[in-house]
Amino acid sequence: MKEIVKDIYSIKPSEKAVYDSSKYIIDTKSDNGLVLIDPGLYVDFFLELEEKGFDPKDIKHCLITHAHLDHYGACYELKRFNKDIQFYAHELDAGQIEQKLDHELIKETFPGYDYEPVKISRRIKDKEILTFGQFKFTCIHTPGHTPGAVGYLLEINKLKIFFGGDVGGLALNIFGGNIDDYLNSLQKVKDLNVDIICDGHEGAIKPVKELSDYIQGLKKFNKFLHIVLEEDPSNIKVWYDLTLLTYEMGGYDYALDFCNYLLEIDPNNADTNRLLKKIKKHNPSKIEFVKPIFEKYSKNQ
């Protein structure tokens, strides 16, 4: 648990899951208690809270960025600790959070996970303001990753902090995404001129130059990914550009998976073989992303 600025903390994703979100805690120092942004899949972060002197029962408000299970799965556990906790989500994503999820994609991505639905206390809209103590959060609708994805903009002590959820995520239609909406949302976030982005998986990103590079990289990444997964899977050049960009952005696990797939369809590509050697120097974990995605697309066609 790391303090980003005074009274605002970040917590890394749980090690219990392959996919889990970062969490953010705001100590309002008021009757509003603690505000949590995205609880993730498990409440094992309670231990870190207690080590910092916080009581998990003081989490009175939970702001959800979007309806992907790795960001809201632990809501039911939160409610067990505080039955009066208030949940907030955009009106376009709230319905999914209130439902029992049993479709195939969820089972494949989170095997064995049993989600218990919770009732959304307040369905929010774009530019709506939520006030907790001295903290005022402006809800910024950022569709593209999901239809109801939102970020929460906080301006305090001359700083603009944006809790962006998976604004740095994927815009694939199989996960409820839309590439055009996503690119527009990235531009909207860039135009906010924030000082810190609190990403849904990468933690707090700053300063401004790094933020600009990060957003530009995300635009390119999703454009390339959209082409090779949804338009032209045999495009060797775009596959290579995607792999190189992912490597340059530090996504070594995904870069390895992209590189291995590229070598399957173009085994004698000298540039790809050289890049593979560079990627392996970072000892990336072996994941399987590309092939399962293609399988999911084939089932849905």
Give the list of residues 6+ apart from residue 116 with CB closer than 8 angstroms, or none.
Answer: 76, 100
- pLDDT tens for 156-192 read 989 999 999 998 788 888 778 899 999 999 999 989 9
CATH number for 201 = 3.60.15.10
* Structural domain count, the chain: 2
Is the sign of the CA dihedral 110, 113, 116, 119 positive or negative? negative
Q: What is the pLDDT of residue 204?
A: 83
Q: What is the pLDDT of residue 300?
A: 59
Q: Do 177 and 31 reside in the same domain of the chain?
A: yes
Q: Do 26 and 125 reside in the same domain of the chain?
A: yes
**Secondary structure in 3-state letters for 198-256:** EECCCEEECCHHHHHHHHHHHHHHHHHHHHHHHHCCCCHHHHHHHHHHHHHCCCHHHHH
Q: Do 123 and 198 reside in the same domain of the chain?
A: yes
pLDDT < 70 regions, the chain: 102-108, 207-209, 297-301
- The structure tokens listed for 121 are 């206390």
Rounded to whole angstroms, how far apart are CA atoms 163 and 90? 14
Range of the domain at 118: 2-206
CATH number for 239 = 1.25.40.10
Q: Do 163 and 281 reside in the same domain of the chain?
A: no
Radius of gyration for the alpha carbons in the chain, expressed in angstroms and rounded: 19
